[in-house]
Copies of this chain bind each other. A is one copy, B any other.
Amino acid sequence: MDKNLKRMATMHRMQVTGLELFYKNGYYNTSIDDILKSLSLSKGAFYYHFQSKEDFFVSIVQNLIVRKVYSMLIEPIEGKENPFTVIDKCFENALETAEHNEMDYGFVLSNFISEFNRRNTVISNYLMDIYKVWEVNLISILQKGKSDGYVDRHVDSEGVATYLISSYMGVRTLMVQGNCRNLRYKYMQQLRQYFNSLTQKEAVL
């Protein structure tokens, strides 16, 4: 498992640079040669490690993109606290990171979902798997929030999850065109407004 250390290192370098360029220029608008050039590697090296461009991209999804989404959007929302507070913090943080990133080209997951939609079902499925994990996590934290008395009992957790993911994807798409700070501010304000309407109200005295 560790004896092929060099192998792993090279593959990883290729994946990192590959994701960078695919993210920046899009999958169909990035050639293998582009990636190889910026790594000073040859075609031989690429096809020694990967079967095809598609196979390569799948490995990127499973190794890098999964982890990105996990660390940015899934892990931060685990816990027993108020789901709305946690999600609020998580989104705020994610949007702030994007805002301060000079090289922001949108939300990785939604960019690729949209690029591969119905054009490459194999890749689409891998991407949708990540989306589903995110969704499931949001739903379960909202459900827990109900039993903990944070979330109103009448709330449809699945619906809220869908709405959250949709709005997040959308605002990330818009943010790339600049005016990020303002967009983030407006988005977060409305998110709070929305959360407020889902909050378990104190019993009326």
Contact = CB atoms under 8 A, between A and B. Distances in A.
Interface of A: 24-26, 28-29, 105-106, 110-111, 113-115, 117-119, 124, 128, 131, 156, 158-160, 162-163, 165-171, 173-174, 176-177, 183, 186-187, 189-191, 193-194, 196-198
Given A167-B167, A170-B166, A118 B176 contact: yes
A115 B115 contact: yes
A126 to B, nearest CB: 12
Contacts of A158: 186
B119 A173 contact: no
Nearest first, the 6 A-B pairs at minimum CB distance are: A166-B170, A197-B197, A169-B170, A163-B190, A170-B170, A159-B186
A189 B198 CA distance: 12
Contacts of A111: 114
A113 B162 contact: no
A170 B205 CA distance: 40
A119 B30 CA distance: 11
